[in-house]
Chain A
Amino acid sequence: AQSVSQHNHHVILSEAASLELGCNYSYGGTVNLFWYVQYPGQHLQLLLKYFSGDPLVKGIKGFEAEFIKSKFSFNLRKPSVQWSDTAEYFCATSYGGSQGNLIFGKGTKLSVKP
């Protein structure tokens, strides 16, 4: 069965530090990849997505992710975090095709110290 692994449960950074959150998926076929963010008490918001094409994907709020097929990875990056980036981040994948249901990682909680 397809699965997603997020290596870090909780990351604590100071403002202006660089961020990289790891994500690995297990499926070897065509996959769609997503990063969602959940701010405290809010719904999940889409940060960025990869369906095909340029493996370096730029999303909202200065986030980007790189799809590396050989490593089954889709790591999320941001050069300089802000206190307002404090949230939980979820990597997700879906099979190619019409179903589209998302398989989520366990999430990484990011705390940014001012």
Chain B
Amino acid sequence: DSGVTQTPKHLITATGQRVTLRCSPRSGDLSVYWYQQSLDQGLQFLIQYYNGEERAKGNILERFSAQQFPDLHSELNLSSLELGDSALYFCASSPQGNQPQHFGDGTRLSIL
């Protein structure tokens, strides 16, 4: 158990819909990262938050957004979903930036 909790584990929805993925970091970790894992693109960094503020942005689409709340949990919002958004979405956390990250079990998103 990594200590990083992601919900839900599985999500099935249709094109055009909006979903919210949730992540609770390990106790004491201030930094939260979101990654997307797909067969064709591999593991790609989406966005990082540190203590409530956006710290770095990767290959995140404009249809996607995220935030980190005062209790340090984070949510990734995906809207106007397309078939290509089907993937495994991982959250990771670390005490600060640039320290080893611990990953959650991921949320498997399937778009029908």
Contact = CB atoms under 8 A, between A and B. Distances in A.
B97 A100 contact: yes
A102 B97 contact: no
A46 B100 contact: yes
Interface of B: 2, 4, 31, 33, 35, 42-45, 48, 50, 55-56, 58, 90, 92, 94, 96-106
Nearest to A42: B105
Contacts of A101: 33, 45, 48, 56, 58
A43 interface: yes
Contacts, number: 67
Nearest to B57: A101
Interface residues of A, number: 25
A96 B98 contact: yes
Contacts of B58: 101
A32 B98 contact: yes
A45 B2 contact: yes
A97 B98 contact: yes
Contacts of B33: 100-102
Contact of A100 (B43, B44, B90, B94): B94
5 contacts: A43-B2, A96-B98, A97-B98, A101-B56, A102-B92
B31 A107 contact: no
A30 to B, nearest CB: 10
Contact of B101 (A96, A100, A105, A106): A100
Nearest to B96: A98
A105 to B, nearest CB: 8
B100 A49 contact: yes
Contacts of B98: 32, 94-100
Given A32-B98, A43-B105, A98-B98, 12 more contacts: A36-B103, A97-B97, A98-B97, A99-B48, A100-B33, A100-B94, A100-B97, A102-B35, A102-B43, A104-B35, A104-B42, A104-B44
Nearest to A103: B45
A44 interface: yes
